Amino acid sequence: MSPITFARAWLPVAMALGAIALGACGGGGTSKDTGALQTIDAPASIEVTSPAFVDGAAIPRANTCDGTGGPPTISWTTIPAAAKTVAVVVDDPDAPGGTFLHWLVIGLPPRPGAVPSAAAGVSELDNTGGTRGWTPPCPPAGATHHYRFTVYALRDYICADNGDASNGPGCSAPSSVQALPQIRDTAIARGVLVGTYRR
């Protein structure tokens, strides 16, 4: 086998291994960076809670890569009357490669609720690990990471930038890259619950 043929044969394997490493260790570049959301000047009037952990406490092992890896239940109250929809963003600002987006849920009804959700119109978007929906905490050993479960009340719907005639509840779901700026620009209230995890 020539060097060129060998390189071509191993390229898909190398790319797959790189994706796995990225998902486990953090990073993902700026395309999924949620840092801009921290500039939102919206009242912190939404109370966010979980039956799995209290604010500032450890996320159960079961909800991480060291357990079964399912998402914890997150609930919220006090959504403003002007809100049309709710979004949930879960990120890790301590990830070594930059803020890691673990979960982005849009299309939630504008009322007290919870995720995971089976409500009509709800969409789980892509995360920094390259999958859709929740990707569990899996930080490098030795450091405590902080996971922000932020709920946003939005004054408009989050839609794909694909020429849909109306920006309404029936519009096409966007990618995370398209959704994050829309969340930033339409948030009218927010609330956050922080969980930690250390391996």
How confident is residue 8, by pLDDT bands cut at 50, 70 and 90? Answer: very low
Q: Coil, strand, or helix at residue 180?
A: helix
Q: How far apart are CA 172 and CA 123, in angstroms?
A: 10
Write the DSSP string, the chain: --HHHHHHHHHHHHHHHHHHHHHHH----STT--GGGGG--------EE-SS--TTSBPPGGGSTTS--PPPPEEE----TT-SEEEEEEEETT-TTS-EEEEEEEEE-SSSEEES---TT-EE-B-TTSSBS-----PPTT--EEEEEEEEEESS----SS--S--STTSPP--HHHHHHHHHHHEEEEEEEEEEE--
pLDDT at 16: 37
Task: Name the residue type at position 130.
Answer: G
Q: Which domains does the chain have, with CATH numbers?
A: 3-197 (3.90.280.10)
End-to-end CA distance of the chain: 43
CB distance 197 to 137 below 8 Å? yes
Which pLDDT value is given to residue 163? 61
20-62 pLDDT tens trace: 334 444 444 434 667 778 788 899 999 999 999 999 999 999 9
Residue-wise pLDDT for 137-156, tens only, equals: 999 999 999 999 999 999 99
Please state, in angstroms and rounded to a whole number, the distance separating the CA atoms of residues 115 and 63: 14
Tokens 């879960």, located at residue = 90
pLDDT tens digits for range 70-128: 999 999 999 999 999 999 999 999 998 889 999 999 999 999 999 999 999 999 999 99
Contact 188, 83 (CB under 8 A): yes
**CB crowding 108-134: b at 16 or more within 10 Å, else e:** bbbeebbbbbeeeebbbbbbbbeeeeb
Q: Which residue has the higher pLDDT, 115 or 177?
A: 115
